[in-house]
Amino acid sequence: MFKGDRSIARNQFGNTGSLLEEEFIGNVNSQKYKEMAYDFLHKNEADTSKLSKDEQFEQVLKRRELATQEFENTLDFKNKYINRSNSMKLVEQCQVGDPEHPAKFFAKRLYDEVYKEVNKDQFILKFFTATGGTHLDVAHKIDCYFKLYLREDKKEVACATIDLTQRSGKDTAKADVVMNISPESQEKCDPSKGNDQYDSKFFEETIAKISEKVVDSIINDYQRKN
């Protein structure tokens, strides 16, 4: 599975550190997620198959409006609950980019470091963000996660969830891995916009520490499931 020593058989985002999340791991397609979550919660309420094309189009517009109203603030994601498994399924359908090629600088570097440890002939690694207003983020406290799949049949075999936080003292979470990025560390880890506080040595050390926790979590999950 892995190489080396690891080889084994109250608005939308509220106070959730949305700026840090957006810059470091990106967001889902928020509107698409709202609509899909709305459909999931109301899937048995209406049958539009017998409507005319014009009526169906009107229903689409109405659905978008109702979805926006349904999830107007972060509390709505807790009150209108969707469990973790289904939340993940929705999140994965609302990714903006390619889960095998994260676009954000931080996420890409973290992915590359974790991917170094993967047996590439046997497995596929994917990175998913859950931020931008989702049940997984707000209700289940998971900001992003990695999934490992068998290359042969695309079966999921392991997962490692991550809680991205600015609270440097936080060491417990619902997620498997706590990724502490303090405001001071954030500047050191962000080379964008000519940031003169970016510290490449500090950044690489941070990535190394987090990737080690992620890999260990994937290994543990793989061992539990297989």
Predicted confidence band of residue 129 (pLDDT cuts 50, 70, 90): very high
pLDDT digits (tens, 9 = 90+) for 49-64: 666 776 666 777 788 8
Q: Which H or E run includes 20?
A: helix 18-24
Mapped to the 3 state alphabet, what secondary structure does 48-67 carry? Answer: CCCCCHHHHHHHHHHHHHHH
- pLDDT of res. 15: 39
Q: How confident is the model at residue 142 (pLDDT cuts 50, 70, 90)?
A: very high
pLDDT value at position 196? 84
Q: Residue 56: its pLDDT value, please? A: 66
Q: Is the dihedral of CA 138, 139, 140, 146 positive or negative?
A: negative
How many other β-carbons are positioned within 10 Å of the β-carbon of residue 72? 12
Per-residue model confidence (pLDDT) at position 62:
82
Residue 134 above 60 pLDDT? Answer: yes
Domain ranges within the chain, ordered by starting residue = 10-225
In whole angstroms, give the CA distance from residue 64 to residue 32: 9
pLDDT tens column, 179-221: 989 888 888 998 876 678 899 999 999 999 999 999 999 999 9
Which pLDDT band holds residue 27 (cuts at 50, 70, 90)?
A: very high
- Give residue 170's pLDDT band: very low, low, confident or very high (50, 70, 90): low
Predicted pLDDT at 166: 83
Mean pLDDT calculated for residue range 85-108: 97
